[in-house]
Amino acid sequence: MSKSAATAVSFVVLLSMSVSFLNWGLSLVFAGLLARAIARRGDLRVDYRVLGAAAFRGLGAVWALGLSSSAALLQATAASLPPELLKVSGVLDFCATIFTWQSLVLRAVMMALTVSVTHLSAPRGGAIRLASTSASRRNSR
């Protein structure tokens, strides 16, 4: 991994959103553990506040376009649809919802923009707040 804090935060965002496509709950656990591991690295100064926010980007950005999308799952299951709605729409599998080209393009654009904005807005230099520094300040009070 890179020695740049902004690149490390971008990495967390990208993986958080990628795992969120598979399952939003898995994304929360995975990205939280990844952010914690990166924050503990002694050779890398990364702002813990930005790492925490980056870990939740998958939930905030693309989970509804993924395999655990509530709407897509309900629409793909006949038993979950009211009979009146089932008559009108029928059952729509994932090829008609989350795997359409529009959904795939939207997901790619959202991921690219989110990673870019996160990378550009990550604190640098003296603005970085380390988790270890913040913990020691709280303990000294």
Asked if the structure places residue 84 within a domain, the reply is no
Angle at CA of residue 61, ends 51 and 35, nearest 5°: 20
Residue 132 placed within a domain: yes
Q: State the average pLDDT for the chain.
A: 87
Range of the domain at 41: 5-63+101-140
What is the model's pLDDT at position 62? Answer: 87
Q: pLDDT value at position 128? A: 79
Q: How far is Cα 70 from Cα 85, in angstroms, rounded to an integer?
A: 16
For residues 32 and 39, the answer to whether their CB atoms sit within 8 Å is no
The count of structural domains within the chain is 1
**pTM higher than the cut 0.95:** no
Residue 123 domain-assigned (yes or no): yes
Collapsing DSSP to helix, strand or coil, 48 comes out as helix
Please report whether residue 89 resides in a domain. Answer: no
pLDDT in tens, 118-141: 999 888 877 777 777 655 555 555
CA angle 63–21–29, rounded 5-degree value = 80
Question: Would 125 be classed as within a structural domain?
Answer: yes
